[in-house]
Amino acid sequence: MVIEKNIKNNQLKIINNQLIRTAPLLLLIILGGCKARQLTRPTPQMDIGPQFWVRVLLLNDVTACTLKIASPFSIISHDPRTPGIRNYPKQVNVPLRIEISGGRITIAGTPLTSSEAIIFPGDPYIFNLNGDDYRGKLKLQIGPDGSSFDAVNLVPLEPYLAGVVGAEMPDYWEPEALRAQAVAARTYCLYIKERFGSNRAWDVRKTQASQVYLGVRAESAQVWNAVSRTYGRVLVCKHSDGTEDIFPTYYSSICGGHTEDSKYVFGGDSFEALVGRSCPYCKDVAKPRFFFWPMVQFDKSYVTAKLSQRYSKLKQLGKITNIIAARQSNYGNFSRVTLVKLVGSTGKSDSLRAEDFRLTIDPSGRKLQSTIYQIVDKGDKWAFLSGTGYGHGVGMCQCGAQAMAREGKTAEQILSYYYRNSRIEIVY
């Protein structure tokens, strides 16, 4: 769901803004010879209930990483036999190597007694992992075979969102578009946490697989404003059993002219808020190069290899000899491929959702930007022509949201347009 953008030195901007606002106070401090006050923005919600903490998978299956913390911190061991808190007051701002050795995690050479531990930085609750700052706490957990570990950021929902909104949308966009983004990202995160979090040791990834999270690097005054002004606000819609609840508020960069019903793109449950909506807006905001993407070609042997590697059921097809757009949405003169039929050299055929097909042959999604295209057989290659849009096209169109905000629409109006019949509810 990411949009290309340049992350500026937002941390510096925050500091500069605060410097301007606090100039007289600073002058007094300097003249008085007192210690300068902490200029980093504090981390909110550190005392909120566990249902609003997000577990973000930062590192998966790694054997080493480097941790640096600018405040005194402690390490909380979770071994019931030897529980305890170890304080590290002398290792402030010192890079600490974390490694796996002999089936144990070692921190600066000292082994931990348990298979998992939580590193708890002091105020302002920020740690640096491999060069990036994150808020909250860091959980280290040894993998099942004892040869690698995962690093999971435990972060309250609102500071988590500050690291998402600025990564998913340029912070110089309209405030109402940023607010709509904050509500969509908050709802999406809570939904994924409730739906999948209980089955695994983390709730969301930090990538487009969930929503992009860059930690403190993505923050700015505008981003914090969008998050704070929508504090605790989520979207709910009617579910198939008649109850009203949060739903997966998908969003994508450029829908290309019409958003898509989620059931055709992702399958699974259908939600009345996630039906296709006409979007005359994104064309005005998106760069032409991203709205209309150039022809992409893939070798047929590459396509067969990628598909059979990802889906073992497709091996029985042999070499894929034909790809047919088996189902396309039809919204007037707009059409998105939602199902592809694959015909193989063995005479057998099978089908895949077009979004799964797209991300199997182009996992980054940067070349085959969407499923709005025509498929053409070019001998030993498949060509995808007349491509439009960027992303899966379900839910809010981010460039469309920016265009609506420019027209003077509020975040609420943008959200109720892209998520039909949804309404805002306050969770805390």
Cα-trace Rg, the chain? 24
Which CB atom, from 361 or from 397, has the smaller least distance to Zn ion? 397
Judged by DSSP in three states, 138 sits in strand
282 sits near Zn ion (criterion: CB under 5 A): yes
372 sits near Zn ion (criterion: CB under 5 A): no
Q: What DSSP element (H or E) covers 16? A: helix 10-21
Task: Give a three-class secondary structure readout of 187-254.
Answer: HHHHHHHHHHHHHCCCCEECCCCCCCCCHHHHCCHHHHHHHHHCCCEEEEEECCCCCEEECCCCEECE
Ordered alpha helix ranges (H), 348-426 = 354-361, 398-406, 411-418
Rounded CA separation 77/112 (Å): 8
Query: Which range, of 2-10, 99-107, 321-329, 397-405, touches Zn ion by CB under 5 A?
Result: 397-405
- Say which residues have a Cβ less than 8 Å from residue 258's Cβ, sequence separation at least 6: 276, 277, 278, 279, 329, 331, 334, 336, 393
DSSP codes of every residue in 282-327: HHHHS-HHHHEEPPEEEEHHHHHHHHHHH-GGGGGG-SEEEEEEEE
| Closest residue by Cα to residue 174 from 382, 406, 332 | 406
Query: Which range, of 58-66, 271-279, 311-319, 341-349, touches Zn ion by CB under 5 A?
Result: 271-279
397 sits near Zn ion (criterion: CB under 5 A): yes
Which CB atom, from 2 or from 279, has the smaller least distance to Zn ion? 279
Query: Smallest distance, Å, CB 370 to Zn ion?
Result: 11
Alpha carbons within 13 A on the beta-carbon side of 81: 5
Query: Which range, of 53-61, 78-86, 281-289, 299-307, touches Zn ion by CB under 5 A?
Result: 281-289
Query: Smallest distance, Å, CB 251 to Zn ion?
Result: 10
Query: Smallest distance, Å, CB 281 to Zn ion?
Result: 6
285 sits near Zn ion (criterion: CB under 5 A): no
Phi and psi (nearest 5°) for 8? -90, 180
Query: Smallest distance, Å, CB 413 to Zn ion?
Result: 15
405 sits near Zn ion (criterion: CB under 5 A): no
255 sits near Zn ion (criterion: CB under 5 A): yes
Query: Which range, of 25-33, 282-290, 333-341, 405-413, touches Zn ion by CB under 5 A?
Result: 282-290
Query: Smallest distance, Å, CB 276 to Zn ion?
Result: 11
Structure-token pair, residue 190: 């809570």
394 sits near Zn ion (criterion: CB under 5 A): no
Beta-sheet pairing, 251-252 with 396-397: parallel
Out of 178, 189, 274, 279, the only residue in the binding site for Zn ion (CB under 5 A) is 279
177 sits near Zn ion (criterion: CB under 5 A): no
214 sits near Zn ion (criterion: CB under 5 A): no
Which CB atom, from 35 or from 289, has the smaller least distance to Zn ion? 289
Query: Which range, of 120-128, 166-174, 249-257, 344-352, touches Zn ion by CB under 5 A?
Result: 249-257
Which CB atom, from 156 or from 256, has the smaller least distance to Zn ion? 256
414 sits near Zn ion (criterion: CB under 5 A): no
Q: Which amino acid is at 110?
A: T
Rounded CA separation 278/290 (Å): 19
Which CB atom, from 159 or from 276, has the smaller least distance to Zn ion? 276
Which CB atom, from 136 or from 400, has the smaller least distance to Zn ion? 400
Residues at the contact surface with Zn ion, assessed by CB under 5 A: 255, 279, 282, 397, 400
